Structure 1
Amino acid sequence: MLKLNRWVLSCSAILVITACSKQPEPISFEPEPNETRTYRVESDVLFSMQSGRSTSSERIRSMMLTDYHVGDTLDPLQLSIIPRFMHLDYRQGSFSSSDEPDYGSEAIREVISQGFTLELDAERQVKQFEINYDVEGDDNLRDSRQIDQLLDLFKDEFVRPGISHGLMLEQGSELTVAGNDEMPDITLRVTRITDTQAYVTMQGESDDIRAFGLLVLDKASGWVDRAVVISDIRAVEGNQNASVRAVMTMLSADWSFDINMDHLSDYESGELPAFEGFRRPNSGMDGSKVFPSTDGYIEEFDEFTFLAYEHAGVEVNDVGRIQFNDAKAYTVDGEALDLDLQLGLVGTYEYDNDKSMSMARVLPLGWHAVHEKLEQLAYIEVSAERYAYQDNIVSIAVRDHETEVTYGDARASLAPTDEEGIYALTLLQGERTHFDYSIATEAPVFFSYLAYKDGPEWLEVAEQRVLSIVEHGSYPTYYYVDLRENKPRSIELLALTAEASPSDEPVTLRFYHPDAVQQNPRAAAPQRQSLYASAEEAQMRQYTQLNMDSFEYTPRAPDELAFEPFSQARAFLTLSPEQAGLCELQQSHDDIQLQEVTNPPGLSLSPGRLNDPVILQARTEDTTREYFYSETLEITLECPTQWTWEALTWQPEEQPWLVSLSQLPGVSAEMPVRELLRRFAFLSATPDDSSGETIRALSLGIVPPNPDALPQYRHPYLSAQVADYLYEGEYLRVAGNVATIMQLVAEGDYTTVAISHEFPPLPDLDTTFEAARQAKEAE
């Protein structure tokens, strides 16, 4: 297995060391004295082993953030290599440099934290490699195999600086570096040259090793801008067949996109929604509307930390481009933590119609006591800058050959495919300009990721997509446009360009850790949560049961109320949220009761939300029975014929997310919380109208002091009392800043509706079995 291990180490070193490789004029590695570059190196490695009939595999994903610092002089040139952050995911668990150290690992952490020094001569050949830590003076490390493994990364002759000697800076120039018993010959080839960059592929293949890579180099300095190496290695030792498939990327430290091989592998083209017009940015939008609050939240995804800010009521193109700077960490008492944080670029995404979310990954740097500081973390402050979008409509011609249009530093191309009438539209974004995904055509449009086409055939589709990402420096996308029915002369696109300087004064945002916010109700508004599911969520909650038709639950006017017709042995009654809040229900049957349910046939309630519509089902009080026979269920509902939502005269006593119970007329601590939430709506914005649909779209949920203590943890609103949600016995804590409180008020006369349901007789089992027997004999 030595060959496999050394090859994986070599591939990762290629990404790092090529930055230092001597290039003939006009390219050479000529950094500035005291210059520092920070890179994010990621790997996705799949190890497989087959021994006889037994097969096993192990997948390891890693990410490392490393500083490369140039010394005071360039001859000789000293390059300090300091790993700042590391994260590993593997089958048995995970490791992070910010974790609490395991027993005996402090010494090796000290070695890594102090880093290494690489000295290069005038020809950029390695003169000396040193570990900065005094290994010989540490009894725990003097004979450690871990130190040897670290040194192996730089000792191999193949990955020393100088591998690209003789590679001329001209398109098509090639250089083959001779391999050895463990490495194939590697051919370097210049495939593209721009004003600032050189694109170089590396390719090698032997009986048991295949490799392909792409490096994008800065022409002026020789630094790597970004790179990827893909390898496929096979080895046979005795009766064991081993293989390693590895993808390793080197990107800038603030790279905002994940290289998720699973997503890139599984993703298939999906049809975009029908074009309804361009979402042109609002020229009247300013920073106060984009950042209506200074509060954001710290969220965890896949063991990484993200800063998340919700732009409520602001569409994504109105937000513009957001940049976070100067991240600082604090305790709950406002004391600064000595915690070095690395911010990624901010991505702004659209979700839930008119809402947008800006998110950035933040990495805690360092190798010692980081976990102790993270335990004290209450919030992170950043300075946020906004760069508004300027827009322009751009046309791209539809021809029988490829056409192209450039706007700013973004580029679009449209080319016919092999299928008649189907065109491929490729959109490449620049640093400041990109094209919106809205495409002005009535034709069906299918979206996918662009794949690199100039690599060897053995590359898988996910690997081709990673190569394309590295080639273009972004997630390049393409669209299949079906123009068979109607072929226009051109297609319009919306180009968006971020302004060169901030559009508003910087805003200080504070991102709270959920635990700190939970412990201190006055610290910040809890993370925003809607009380009702969105239309998209509601649609996702609908499903069709096996061998059953889909179910429709339809609220009706009071004088038209009736049990749903699709079930005889069970009984379901559908009410609107307003009817559930205002109608009085009387039941005559002692053993059968109508109870609100979360999972009626064909529908499942989203956790932590209220039902819309409200589904009542006939069940026994202990909920153990829901099928009944030879019974009659009679109920009476007293409902108002009309109702309306009226705004309360309300001002926050303290914070805009804290509402005193005394400010809500007729509410007591003993009231069911679902009754409170159906009679009063805590809205995130002042509504344009008072329709039930508008009120529900803006309604915010409430947060309990102790969620784990609530009954029905996934659906606490259905069984908890108001008292379970009170802080200090007085305050409700709303999940977001409250702009308006609306109260549901009955209008007009009340009407009394009596409805009944006849459960069917108990089936005659003898007759049923005899009918089944006769049917079988007839076959």
Structure 2
Amino acid sequence: MRLLSILVSVLSLLMLSACTDNSSVKFAPKAGEKRDYRTAQTVEITTDKGRNEQFTAKNYSTFEVTDLTTDQVKLHIIPGRMEASLGTYDFRSSIPDDMPQAMQDAQVAGADMTIDLESGQLIDINSSGESLKKQLKQLLGDKIDNLFEQVSQPNLPITVNTEQDWQTQSTLFGVHDVSLTVTKVDDSRVWVTYQGGSEGHRLAGLAILDRKTGWIEKQVQTSELEHTVKGKTIHIRSTQIIAQVRDGEDNYIPKIHAQWANHWIDLEGFSPPNKLLKKADPKQIFYKPNGTLTKDEDKLSLSLLHAADKRERIGDIEIFAAHAFDFAGNEIDTPMHTTSTFTRSLPTGKRKTTEAQLQLTSSGVLIDTVEKIAKVTAKVAWYPDESFTLRLTLDDKHRAHYAENGVEIDLKPSEQDNVYEVSFSGQPKDSMVTRLGERQAYQVQFRANPPAPKWLNAQESNLRFEASPNPEAHRILIKTDTPPSYVDVVVQRSASEAKVEREVTFYSAQAQRFSPNVQPQTKYLFDSDQPANPIPTVKPQGVERGQVLFPLGAEQAKTCQASLIPEAQEAGRTLIFALNQTPENFTHPVALKLQTEDGVREYFYQLGERNITLHCDSTRTWQPANIALSDTTPWVIPLASLDKEKQLSTVGDLLSKYRFLDENKRILSLTTLAENAELAPQTLLEDVTFPDGTLRIAGVPASVQVISITPTPIDQSFNVAFPELPTESAQ
């Protein structure tokens, strides 16, 4: 256990340094140059006695050139946000007292990396004046070179020729006999792939290099190393993703357990869509003028609402170039990174939402900074959907090929029994979804394309897309007992250029409530029917279910009485009409309700035909109020625009004398100052009055009405027939 703890400590230190050469590419940084990197790593450590430990980590770091000579460069590493997991123990640098003190100290100190410019080799790393190489030798002995060389450099420790298909063989990262091939070259970048070594001491990786300077842009590397320390054999298998920080990319890696990494995913058989439904109207994509900012401890997410149901495709949404602001409108100067977006259907209504995580990437505790953020502005780009369907019909050798519309697909039997391989390549960001014919069920695995070395498992293989020259290319292994007669494919594609790009403001829940420019979420005052207007049109409701209600509203109800003729009793109690008002909420409007005089019963059956009289001493009607609604923010109502003589002190007082109607004539509720506060008749008016002296209507009012009182009495009579007692069969 002690040895495993030491190795995990070493790996943690290596993570802090994590983060890579024009006829040839060689590491040639400039003085004062900086690069921001994101790193994600998963490590599995096992011993020859079967002990297993899992270590995963992801972090952000800044590399700055601080000293440059003719033969060496010194890079100062400034560690940023870090998250790690060891077994069941998780910690984050952004949470107070969550990260071990030794790692907190290392983050504050940073580290200095020295690299030989001729060879590109790492010479040493120093943190707080201590040499990492020296520490490793003290802990693990002299044979530490291959472990030390697993430290992630921001460069490849080899000079690379910029000719496509150029190859060489060398020792790389402490592993001998590594073959390196240039797979793609353009004006600014060089793509390389490398693999080599032997079982127990091997690696495989891909990297994208800046052609002029040799800095690594992206790298994915899997290594398998064995070390014998104090008579014990330690097996270390690691996959690491290193990339310069760019919006729209995720700093993520799954936990890879060797015994689970090649598992098959079960898929039920179902038919492909008959037609692909696509949204083409920007108004439905940018359905609301603003987005939502959600906070969860040290985490932030940005979401945008779309008017689309679950069958409709909206294409791709990108969210980038974010800036955060506090409640006073001041910009918060902190580095941040928006991840890729994910679109999902909402459970209610024909709506979808697109979400992206917003990572604050600096070191130290971030909760206080998150709490200060009221809104985030970001660019949002929409790439309309251009997906299409096709069918692969297998020949008598169980093969199929498709090459049209910028897509190439090959299907063939694999080396495994009952397993078929579908290779896909297409345009950037293309992907595919497969369905076997006749609703046939099957299992799948996802793999790299072109194929990765065979010793990599499915998860390790699939992660190589990050640094692939064709990141959209992939393979699907299909496992099925019966060869399919055909395979239906949906090629998921979005436009290569954005149709719309605009700046969107994402508000937190509190900022949404307090900003007068943000349209509040619609909320109606009553769950059920609202009071009749004009009052003389009121009729008894609920009779068919044995209940009698007159929904009159608070102001009218207190002037009215109703009677049942002839009188009736239930359980020895006389039936009367009484006010039913729920002081805790506005679920139902104030009404006269038939009940026993003790208020226990309110449903009555087998009373036959009866007459009900309704008398009111005066008439209350709703009339247009002399309140002008703003064209741009109609939900903002200045309190000073209300009649001061109406003596308003509670929400009940206000809403018995004024009502705010949407375009469908439904009564809207009010927005409260406190988040998720329940609105009730006894809620004080000050609890819904905002600092600028306004009310905020919960929705978009089309009109405002005020109660009007006339001395005209109301006298009405109704004949009703009470229902029979319900039987079990009727229920």
Query: What is the TM-score when the length of structure 2 is the normalising length?
Result: 0.61
Q: C-alpha separation between the residues in 1 aligned to 2:702 and 2:503?
A: 26
- Does residue 1:253 correspond to 2:235, yes or no? no
Aligned to 1:188: 178
Q: C-alpha separation between the residues in 2 aligned to 1:272 and 1:257?
A: 33
1:306 to 301, 319, 326: 301
Aligned to 2:79: 83
Q: C-alpha separation between the residues in 2 aligned to 1:588 and 1:178?
A: 91
Per the alignment, in what secondary structure is the counterpart of residue 289 of structure 1?
A: helix
Aligned to 2:329: 334
Aligned to 1:382: 378
Q: C-alpha separation between the residues in 1 aligned to 2:569 and 2:69?
A: 89
Shift of 1:151: 13
2:503 to 483, 505, 508: 508
Aligned to 1:398: 394
Q: C-alpha separation between the residues in 1 aligned to 2:138 and 2:521?
A: 47
Shift of 1:381: 1.0
Counterpart residue identity of residue 198, structure 1: V
C-alpha change, 1:44 and 1:402, in structure 2 (3 Å) is: same
C-alpha change, 1:420 and 1:87, in structure 2 (3 Å) is: closer
Q: C-alpha separation between the residues in 1 aligned to 2:16 and 2:404?
A: 32
Alpha-carbon displacement from aligned partner over 1:122-173 (angstroms, at most 9, x marks no partner): 3334567566xxx5xxxxxx78999968999999663487986599985886
Q: C-alpha separation between the residues in 2 aligned to 1:64 and 1:393?
A: 40
Q: C-alpha separation between the residues in 2 aligned to 1:178 and 1:143?
A: 22
Aligned to 2:36: 38
- Does residue 1:755 correspond to 2:725, yes or no? yes
The 5 A counterparts of 1:222-237 are 222=214, 223=216, 225-229=218-222, 231=224
Shift of 1:89: 4.2
Aligned to 1:214: 205
- 1:445/1:481 contact within 8 Å kept: no
Shift of 1:241: 9.6
Query: What is the TM-score when the length of structure 1 is the normalising length?
Result: 0.57
Per the alignment, in what secondary structure is the counterpart of residue 498 of structure 1?
A: coil
Aligned to 2:688: 728
- Flag structure 1 segments of 5+ consecutive residues without an equivalent: 136-141, 180-184, 532-557, 563-585, 592-609, 611-620, 622-632, 639-647, 674-679, 711-719, 742-747, 760-779
- 2:221/2:241 contact within 8 Å kept: yes
Q: C-alpha separation between the residues in 2 aligned to 1:282 and 1:310?
A: 13
- 2:26/2:159 contact within 8 Å kept: no
1:279 to 269, 276, 280: 276
The 5 A counterparts of 1:322-471 are 322-352=317-347, 354-367=350-363, 370-390=366-386, 396=392, 398-399=394-395, 400=397, 402-405=399-402, 411-416=408-413, 425-427=422-424, 430-431=427-428, 433-435=429-431, 437=433, 443-444=439-440, 448-451=444-447, 454-455=452-453, 461-467=458-464
C-alpha change, 1:148 and 1:121, in structure 2 (3 Å) is: same
2:267 to 256, 270, 293: 270
Q: C-alpha separation between the residues in 1 aligned to 2:120 and 2:523?
A: 57
Q: C-alpha separation between the residues in 2 aligned to 1:404 and 1:467?
A: 24
- 1:670/1:721 contact within 8 Å kept: yes
- 2:433/2:492 contact within 8 Å kept: no
- Does residue 1:123 correspond to 2:119, yes or no? yes
- 1:175/1:188 contact within 8 Å kept: yes
Q: C-alpha separation between the residues in 1 aligned to 2:475 and 2:3?
A: 40
C-alpha change, 1:123 and 1:212, in structure 2 (3 Å) is: closer
Shift of 1:465: 4.0
Shift of 1:65: 1.5
Q: C-alpha separation between the residues in 2 aligned to 1:395 and 1:166?
A: 46
C-alpha change, 1:323 and 1:467, in structure 2 (3 Å) is: closer
Counterpart residue identity of residue 94, structure 1: F
Shift of 1:634: 7.4
Shift of 1:515: 4.5
Deviates more, 1:325-334 or 1:302-311: 302-311
- Flag structure 2 segments of 5+ consecutive residues without an equivalent: 526-541, 547-567, 574-586, 588-597, 609-622, 643-649, 704-717
Alpha-carbon displacement from aligned partner over 1:236-271 (angstroms, at most 9, x marks no partner): 879x99876654322442323743338996883333
Aligned to 1:198: 192
C-alpha change, 1:487 and 1:461, in structure 2 (3 Å) is: closer
Shift of 1:473: 3.8
Per the alignment, in what secondary structure is the counterpart of residue 122 of structure 1?
A: coil
- Does residue 1:19 correspond to 2:9, yes or no? no
Counterpart residue identity of residue 338, structure 2: L
- 1:98/1:366 contact within 8 Å kept: no
1:289 to 268, 284, 306: 284
- 2:319/2:341 contact within 8 Å kept: yes
- 1:75/1:122 contact within 8 Å kept: no
Shift of 1:522: 4.2
Per the alignment, in what secondary structure is the counterpart of residue 303 of structure 2?
A: strand
C-alpha change, 1:46 and 1:417, in structure 2 (3 Å) is: closer
Per the alignment, in what secondary structure is the counterpart of residue 284 of structure 2?
A: helix
Counterpart residue identity of residue 19, structure 1: T
Per the alignment, in what secondary structure is the counterpart of residue 373 of structure 1?
A: helix
Shift of 1:330: 0.9
Shift of 1:41: 0.9
Q: C-alpha separation between the residues in 2 aligned to 1:649 and 1:320?
A: 45
Shift of 1:199: 1.7
The 5 A counterparts of 1:135-154 are 135=128
Counterpart residue identity of residue 222, structure 2: V
The 5 A counterparts of 1:379-778 are 379-390=375-386, 396=392, 398-399=394-395, 400=397, 402-405=399-402, 411-416=408-413, 425-427=422-424, 430-431=427-428, 433-435=429-431, 437=433, 443-444=439-440, 448-451=444-447, 454-455=452-453, 461-467=458-464, 473=471, 476=474, 478=476, 480=478, 487=485, 491=488, 493-494=490-491, 496-500=493-497, 502-504=498-500, 506-517=501-512, 520=514, 522=516, 524=518, 655=633, 721=680, 728=688, 734=698, 752-756=722-726
Larger radius of gyration: 2
Q: C-alpha separation between the residues in 1 aligned to 2:467 and 2:651?
A: 58
Percent identity, aligned pairs only, is 13
Aligned to 2:577: none
Q: C-alpha separation between the residues in 1 aligned to 2:97 and 2:169?
A: 48
Q: C-alpha separation between the residues in 1 aligned to 2:669 and 2:239?
A: 44
Q: C-alpha separation between the residues in 2 aligned to 1:428 and 1:725?
A: 63
Q: C-alpha separation between the residues in 2 aligned to 1:437 and 1:725?
A: 56
Per the alignment, in what secondary structure is the counterpart of residue 363 of structure 2?
A: coil
C-alpha change, 1:377 and 1:302, in structure 2 (3 Å) is: closer
Alpha-carbon displacement from aligned partner over 1:304-324 (angstroms, at most 9, x marks no partner): 322221223377975433333
Q: C-alpha separation between the residues in 1 aligned to 2:521 and 2:293?
A: 9
- 2:25/2:159 contact within 8 Å kept: no
- 1:176/1:188 contact within 8 Å kept: yes
User: What is the number of equivalent residue pairs in this alignment?
Assistant: 602
Aligned to 1:158: 149
